[in-house]
Amino acid sequence: MFSIILGLICGVGMPMQTSINTKLGENLKSTYLSSATTFLVGAVGASIIMMLFMGGIHIPFDILIKEPLWIWTGGLCGTFIVILSITSLPKLGSIETMVMLVLGQIIIGLAVDNFGWFYQEVIHLTLWRFLGSALVLGGTVMVSLANRNGEARTEKKTGGIWFYRFTALAAGVFCGLQIAVNGALGNVIGDSFTATLISMVFGFMGVVVVICILYIFKGGRSAVFVEGPDIKGKWWMFTGGLFSLLIVGGNVVIARVIGTGLSVILNVVGQTFGGIVIDAVGFLGIEKKPVTMAKVAGVLIMIVGIVLVTFL
């Protein structure tokens, strides 16, 4: 039960992190710089916790050197999530992007469990798990459509639209892979905080590399951010990294216990519920969107899906 609650909390933290990071990106004039800041704050937060409560930072390189290279890639998955989401969202709109993200997460989550990839315990795909996952996806679609609030259907969907659908789907796949890889890393090390720190550091390094590439090959400074960042007196904009610490660290813990598939589904449900609450209260000045019966029905359908995946 603790793992289920933690998985939902991790999911709720996702839209909160996104909202805060969006504001930070607007003020820093750079989405990429905002992402790098988030990873850096998360890494510093994990380091402080380890120094205060775990007697310091110790990376067991003697153990990790014997593992395959993919054991280090959880943080890099986070980098790909950022890049692919940024690429697809303007072309697809929020509704279709969300659906493709969720679809990618569910597909890879079930595959990891079914085949036992990344040292995960094999949890075979049954009819009930398939139906439960389908209900979670269906609930996501229902909530997303109910949440459009007049959003245009993006007439930009012309040539190459399937490329952007694929990038959004790939972003979802990387979300699931990050949970699986970080869970495996936590099992190998035997310490969730160290695994979280490694993931944050590699995520930060990945975004920095992207920023450098953009700076060199895409027009210099203007390709990364423009002049005039405004962050004075807005310390709360840097708390997105703390939510990232909660999300990544929490998923390291639960993936080790309940597997990748259920971890992903719990994240999706928590994310959807959190998004509804954030829209309802107008968090950080975003446009308020009322809670409708369609949204409530969508969440209830997702909960039924959780029950099928978890207990049948």
In this prediction, residue 54 carries a pLDDT of 87
In this prediction, residue 19 carries a pLDDT of 82
Choose between 288 and 158: higher pLDDT.
288
Question: In the predicted model, what is the mean pLDDT of residues 24-46?
Answer: 86
Is residue 144 included in any domain, yes or no?
yes
In this prediction, residue 229 carries a pLDDT of 61
Say yes or no to pLDDT of 87 above 90.
Answer: no
Percent of the chain exceeding pLDDT 70 equals: 90
Is residue 193 included in any domain, yes or no?
yes
Q: How far apart are CA 85 and CA 88, in angstroms?
A: 5
Q: How many Cβ atoms are within 10 Å of 82's Cβ, its own excluded?
A: 23
Is residue 231 included in any domain, yes or no?
no
Q: Whole-number mean pLDDT of the chain? A: 85
Say yes or no to pLDDT of 99 above 90.
Answer: no
The greatest distance separating any two alpha carbons of the chain, rounded to the nearest whole angstrom, comes to 56
In this prediction, residue 158 carries a pLDDT of 47
Structural contact between residues 32 and 224, judged by C-beta atoms closer than 8 angstroms: yes
**CA within 13 Å, CB half, 183:** 29
Coil, strand or helix at 22: helix
Question: In the predicted model, what is the mean pLDDT of residues 15-35?
Answer: 82
Output phi, psi for 179, to 5 deg: -65, -45
Question: In the predicted model, what is the mean pLDDT of residues 40-51?
Answer: 93
Is residue 203 included in any domain, yes or no?
yes
Which tens digits make up the pLDDT trace of 141-193? 888 888 765 454 444 444 578 888 899 899 999 999 999 999 999 999 988 88
In this prediction, residue 187 carries a pLDDT of 92
Full-model pTM: 0.85
Is residue 116 included in any domain, yes or no?
yes
Contacts of 256-259 with CB under 8 Å at 24 or more apart are 256/183, 256/186, 256/187, 256/192, 257/3, 258/3, 258/4, 258/7, 259/112, 259/113, 259/120, 259/121, 259/123
Structural contact between residues 87 and 155, judged by C-beta atoms closer than 8 angstroms: no
Choose between 21 and 270: higher pLDDT.
270
In this prediction, residue 194 carries a pLDDT of 93
Indicate the residue type of 309: V
Q: How far apart are CA 19 and CA 15, in angstroms?
A: 6
Is residue 81 included in any domain, yes or no?
yes
Is residue 178 included in any domain, yes or no?
yes
Lowest mean pLDDT among 38-52, 141-155, 283-297: 141-155
Helices (H), the chain: 2-28, 31-53, 61-64, 74-92, 94-115, 127-146, 161-189, 192-217, 240-258, 260-281, 293-311
Question: In the predicted model, what is the mean pLDDT of residues 121-133?
Answer: 93
Question: In the predicted model, what is the mean pLDDT of residues 118-123?
Answer: 90
Domain span including residue 97: 2-226+236-311
Instruction: Give the tokens for residue 98.
Output: 């969300």
User: What is the DSSP track for 276-303?
Assistant: HHHHHHTGGGPPP----HHHHHHHHHHH
Number of domains in the chain: 1
**Alpha-carbon separation of residue 251 from 91, 167, 175, 186, 236 (angstroms):** 30, 23, 11, 10, 24
Which tens digits make up the pLDDT trace of 64-80? 999 999 999 999 998 89
In this prediction, residue 285 carries a pLDDT of 72
Question: In the predicted model, what is the mean pLDDT of residues 263-269?
Answer: 92
Distance in angstroms between the alpha carbons of the first and the last residue of the chain: 15
**CA within 13 Å, CB half, 114:** 12
Say yes or no to pLDDT of 132 above 70.
Answer: yes
Percent of the chain exceeding pLDDT 90 equals: 45
Which tens digits make up the pLDDT trace of 193-242? 899 999 999 999 999 998 888 877 766 555 555 555 666 657 788 888 89
Coil, strand or helix at 218: coil
